[in-house]
Each structure stands twice: as structure tokens, then as C-alpha cells.
């Protein structure tokens, strides 16, 4: 199934319809379908090859003056954001009671920014998985339904023990929403055990309960929850508490990436290579599998910079980074070592297999010129490899670097190694 969002925009004003469609196209990867009336919206939904993920709907349409479009879309399983020029507290309460995602008044330019920010977040939510833990099937399905309307992937568990098992089996879970009152193991005890294996910067946990008040909230937070919500809660409050916690995870992730990702190539950087590499080599030694370390250097890179400028050099580095990333295995550590040098740590390959693997990478780099300013830059790279049953990272990198110098001395665009 395609990961591209499908969004239905129901708006009779050509100006707003065009504006919204243009902003969606600018901000996210989405297929946008438009309708100018309830009748047209019905046709588009019923004829769709796959369901819409989201609808942005005006309340007042030529053939539906009382917001009937929201009732119809919700009834057909299409999550809705209402984007309209009408506002009243009574109307807002009625719409939120229908479990729409949000109600946005199109009265100022900032309201469009708010709407598009929400659409962007909902689109990102499709990559996030949430675990809901509650022994009450009714309460569990209610929360799961809200989260699904916010575009999250949702998995469920009936009690604390099952919640721990589901989390242990699924590393993609980023958020847990748990009740307190459950048989076998209560929510606080489950949170305490989850925190033994999952830090707060990788997994957010929200406790919910219909009783206990501030004392229970304090217990949840004390033992590792990020947030707590009293039942019953407004769907609007629940949405923004959830989104706030996901934003915090994303912020920490971005800050972490800044310290370990090379911004030009998107590969890991030298710091990550040493941190992760030592762990990888220690694990390989424990499991009795061989390790191969490769040092890679772009041939005649100074000439590229002198001839085509740093923009040309950057284009070459990005291209090589893309080749290494696309052709390496998920278990490999691939990093930009510095300047025009790259490094790869690969485990569980015999010596012949390692040479074949790196020869394939060398050939791929040489096979396709790098486009730059209407020209095709021919690029090659030299490889030095160190293959060993076991060894220290620093020593293997030193040996691989010596082999790299030998490859350069012997004509470049080749592999040398031991």
C-alpha cells in the first residue's frame, strides 16, 4: 500500500480550495482530491480506489447548509477537520462531540498556517505506532479510535503484562496510553517496568484514569510517565496532549540526529562510527563472526573542487553517500569519516564475500557520472579494507587506511586489503 496520504478537500470557494490545495502540495506528499458540494464529495468518496485518510471540509455548501457534510463523511469513516468561516461556541461543541479532529475558523492568514501545520503533523503520525493498554474493551476501542482518526498506527493490549509483551515485541512503538485500574498488573507498575528498558526520550507514556486525582497523577509521573489525563476527557484535550508528547519525541530525535548525522550526505558521522562501531565489533567478537572495516576515498577530489567549485564537490559527496546508503546492508555502519573519506563497518561476511561486496560498491560509484550544472562528472573511489576474525576498531581503521594508501599508489579506483 502506498504511504502517500489521500486528502479530500470539500470547499465551494474556488479561492480557498486553490489556496488549501497549493499549501498541501507544498508541505506534504499527498494525493489531493477536491469537491465543491456534498453530492460531489459523496461521488468522490464512493468511487475512491482506497479510503481517504483525511477530509478538510467547509460547513456551508450549496447543497448542505447545516454541516451535513461532516455527518456524512464521519459516517463513512473519513476523519474530518472543519475549516469554515462560521464560529460559535454552540457549533464548536456540537462538532467536537461528533469527534472531528479539529475546528478551524478561516478568519485570518494565521488560521491557514494552523490548519496546514495540523495536516503536516497528522501526515507524520502515519509513521508512528501507539500502544493502548486497558482491560475495558469499550474504553480501549474508544481511545484507539481517536488515535486512528489522528492517523496513528494503533496496537492494543488488555492488561499490563500483555502491554509489556507487545512493547518488547515491537520496537516501532513510540507512545503508550495506559489505564491504571487493570487486573494482573496495574498501569503504574507496567510503566515502572517499561522504563527499565525504554528511556523517556525514545518512548512517551500517558497515563489515564477515572479516579485517583492528583495523587495518582503524581505516581504515574514519578515512575516514568510523561503525562497524565483524567477520565472523562475531551477529545480535543486528548489530541493535543498526545501531539505534545509526540512533538517532544521528534524534537529529541532531531537534536540527537544533529550530533550523529552528517548534514551533507545524510550518513552517520565520525562520532557515531566510533560509538556504534566499538559496540558492533564487541558483539561480533562475542558471537564469533568476522568483521570487515573499509576506508573509502574519492579519487582526485581536490581537482573536482578546483574545477567545479565546492558546489561540484558537494554534489559528488552527496552522490557517493547515496550510493553507499542504498547498497549497504541495514546491519552495516556507514559513515562520512571526514572530508572526502567514508568508512564502512560490516559483520558476518567471509573474506571472499567482503571483497565481492566492496567491489560492487566501487563499481556502482564508477558506473554513473554525477550531474552538476548540466555536466556529467566522472567519479571513482579507492577502497582499503581490513578483514579480521576479531580486533579493535582503532587498529582495524589504521590497517584499512594503510590499504587505502596502497590502492591510491597502485592506480586508484581499486580495492586493496588484508
Average pLDDT across the chain, whole number: 91
Q: What is the pLDDT of residues 212-221, one digit of tens each?
A: 678 899 999 9
Half-sphere exposure of 125 (CA within 13 A, CB side): 26
Q: Which residues of 201-219 are buried (b: 16+ CB within 10 A; e: fewer)?
A: eebbbbbbbeebeeebbeb
Quickly tell me which residue has 573509502 as its cell. Answer: 296
| Average pLDDT of the segment spanning 76-87 | 88
Percent of the chain with pLDDT over 70: 99
Whether 144 and 156 have beta carbons less than 8 Å apart is answered as yes
Whole-Å CA distances, 24 to 20, 30, 120, 253, 386: 6, 7, 8, 25, 49
Quote the pLDDT of residue 1.
39
Decide if pLDDT at 288 tops 60.
yes
Half-sphere exposure of 121 (CA within 13 A, CB side): 23
Q: What is the pLDDT of residues 7-55, one digit of tens each?
A: 999 999 999 999 999 999 999 989 999 999 999 999 999 999 889 999 9
Model confidence at 96, pLDDT cuts 50, 70, 90, reads confident
Whether 80 and 61 have beta carbons less than 8 Å apart is answered as no
| Average pLDDT of the segment spanning 255-271 | 90
| Average pLDDT of the segment spanning 286-306 | 94
Q: Which residue from 182, 175, 189, 184 is spatially nearest to 220, judged by alpha carbons?
A: 189
Quote the pLDDT of residue 235.
84
Whether 270 and 342 have beta carbons less than 8 Å apart is answered as no
- Kindly list the structural domains of the chain, giving each domain's residue range(s) and its CATH number in brackets, ordered by start: 5-123 (3.40.50.2300), 127-256 (3.40.50.2300), 270-417 (3.30.70.270)
- The larger pLDDT score, comparing residue 252 to residue 418, is at 252
The grid coordinates of residue 249 equal 519525541
Give the CA angle between residues 321, 313, 275 to the nearest 5°. Answer: 40
Quickly tell me which residue has 579519487 as its cell. Answer: 299
Decide if pLDDT at 71 tops 80.
yes
Whether 248 and 200 have beta carbons less than 8 Å apart is answered as no
Q: For this structure, is 340 an active site residue?
A: yes
For the chain, what is the total number of helices (H) and then of strands (E)?
A: 14, 17
Q: Which residue from 147, 149, 141 is spatially nearest to 173, judged by alpha carbons?
A: 147
Quote the pLDDT of residue 3.
64
Quote the pLDDT of residue 317.
96
Instruction: Look at residue 363 and give its three-state secondary structure.
Output: helix
Which of 90, 237, 340, 341 does the annotation list as catalytic? 340
Decide if pLDDT at 2 tops 70.
no
Quickly tell me which residue has 566522472 as its cell. Answer: 378
Decide if pLDDT at 72 tops 80.
yes
How far is 236 from 409, CA to CA, in rounded Å?
66
Amino acid at each position: 500500500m502506498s504511504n502517500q496520504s489521500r486528502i479530500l478537500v470539500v470547499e465551494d470557494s474556488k479561492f480557498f480550495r486553490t489556496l488549501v490545495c497549493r499549501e498541501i502540495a507544498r508541505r506534504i506528499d499527498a494525493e489531493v482530491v477536491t469537491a465543491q458540494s456534498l453530492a460531489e464529495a459523496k461521488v468522490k468518496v464512493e468511487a475512491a480506489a482506497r479510503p481517504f485518510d483525511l477530509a478538510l471540509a467547509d460547513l456551508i455548501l450549496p447543497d448542505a447548509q447545516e454541516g451535513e457534510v461532516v455527518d456524512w463523511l464521519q459516517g463513512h469513516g473519513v476523519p474530518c477537520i472543519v475549516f469554515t468561516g462560521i464560529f460559535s461556541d454552540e457549533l464548536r461543541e456540537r462538532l467536537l462531540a461528533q469527534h472531528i479532529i479539529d475546528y478551524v475558523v478561516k478568519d485570518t492568514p494565521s488560521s491557514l498556517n494552523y490548519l496546514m501545520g495540523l495536516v503536516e503533523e497528522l501526515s507524520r503520525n502515519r509513521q508512528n505506532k501507539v500502544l493502548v493498554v486497558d482491560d475495558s474493551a469499550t474504553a480501549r476501542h474508544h481511545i484507539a479510535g481517536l488515535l486512528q482518526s489522528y492517523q496513528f498506527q494503533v496496537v492494543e493490549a488488555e492488561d499490563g503484562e500483555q502491554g509489556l509483551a507487545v512493547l518488547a515485541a515491537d520496537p516501532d512503538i513510540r507512545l503508550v496510553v495506559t489505564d491504571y485500574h487493570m487486573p494482573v498488573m496495574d498501569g503504574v507498575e507496567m510503566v515502572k517496568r517499561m522504563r527499565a528498558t525504554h528511556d523517556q526520550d525514545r518512548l512517551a507514556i500517558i497515563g489515564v484514569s477515572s479516579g485517583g486525582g492528583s495523587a495518582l497523577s503524581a505516581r504515574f509521573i514519578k515512575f516514568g510517565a510523561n503525562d497524565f489525563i483524567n477520565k472523562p476527557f475531551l477529545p480535543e484535550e486528548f489530541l493535543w496532549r498526545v501531539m505534545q508528547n509526540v512533538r517532544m519525541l521528534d524534537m529529541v530525535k532531531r537534536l540527537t540526529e544533529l550530533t550523529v548525522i552528517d548534514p551533507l550526505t545524510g550518513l552517520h558521522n565520525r562520532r557515531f562510527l566510533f560509538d556504534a562501531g566499538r559496540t558492533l565489533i564487541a558483539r561480533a567478537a562475542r558471537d564469533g563472526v568476522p568483521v570487515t572495516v573499509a576506508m573509502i576515498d574519492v579519487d582526485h577530489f581536490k581537482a573536482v573542487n578546483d574545477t567545479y567549485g565546492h558546489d561540484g564537490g558537494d554534489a559528488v559527496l552527496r552522490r557517493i553517500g547515496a550510493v553507499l546508503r542504498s547498497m549497504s546492508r541495514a546491519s552495516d555502519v556507514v559513515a562520512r569519516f571526514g572530508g572526502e573519506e567514508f568508512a564502512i563497518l560490516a559483520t558476518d561476511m567471509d573474506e571472499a564475500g567482503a571483497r565481492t561486496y566492496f567491489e560492487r560498491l566501487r563499481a556502482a560509484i564508477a558506473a554513473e557520472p554525477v550531474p552538476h550544472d548540466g555536466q556529467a562528472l566522472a567519479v571513482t573511489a579507492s577502497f582499503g579494507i581490513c578483514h579480521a576474525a576479531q580486533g579493535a576498531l582503532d587498529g582495524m581503521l589504521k590497517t584499512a587506511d594503510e590499504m587505502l594508501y596502497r590502492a591510491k599508489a597502485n592506480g586508484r579506483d581499486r580495492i586493496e586489503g588484508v
